[in-house]
């Protein structure tokens, strides 16, 4: 499966999950590495716009396309998620849930629903997994963000 990530170009080939480790995210606590990707380019743009203030947008954006082996993706059902998984505040329960999966399993990639578009999916790549070498960077494309998306 191909998944997509919008980021500063200098981190386009990052397979260490440094940003998420330093700052945390909806599905991980600070200190836990994770690479946030989405099922489509469009969703990756929406997720980026929802989570980064316009004044902090890097001037040199790119979309990285990763190839993840289908058999290495753990699908999480909505029934397994914390009840408040889609709260806009990124609750502690989702951070606990994702961090537990990332740290205590040998799962390479985890499918979770998007809060921005709940019928779509994001994919959490686990850099700590011994199978990380199975992730391939397929392509990196320069991306010009249209600020009309976020005014």
* Residue 52 pLDDT: 84
Compute the Cα dihedral for 5, 101, 90, 122 and give only its sign. positive
User: pLDDT tens digit string along 91-135?
Assistant: 999 999 999 999 987 899 999 999 999 899 999 999 999 999 999
| pTM for the predicted model, two decimal places | 0.94
Q: Which range of residues forms the domain containing residue 96?
A: 2-149
The ranges of the chain with pLDDT < 70 are none
Q: What is the largest CA-CA distance in the chain?
A: 41
The count of domains in the chain is 1
């Amino acid at each position: 499966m191909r998944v997509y990530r919008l980021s500063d170009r200098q981190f386009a080939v990052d397979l260490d999950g440094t940003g998420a480790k330093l700052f945390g995210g909806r599905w991980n606590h600070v200190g836990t590495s994770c690479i946030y990707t989405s099922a489509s380019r469009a969703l990756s743009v929406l997720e980026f716009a929802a989570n980064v203030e316009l004044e902090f947008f890097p001037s040199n954006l790119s979309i990285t396309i990763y190839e993840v082996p289908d058999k290495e993706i753990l699908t999480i059902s909505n029934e397994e998620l914390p009840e408040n998984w889609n709260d806009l505040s990124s609750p502690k329960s989702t951070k606990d849930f994702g961090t537990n999966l990332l740290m205590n399993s040998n799962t390479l990639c985890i499918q979770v629903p998007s809060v921005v578009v709940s019928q779509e999916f994001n994919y959490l790549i686990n850099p700590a997994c011994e199978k990380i070498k199975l992730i391939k960077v397929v392509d990196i494309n320069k991306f010009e963000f249209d600020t009309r998306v976020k005014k």
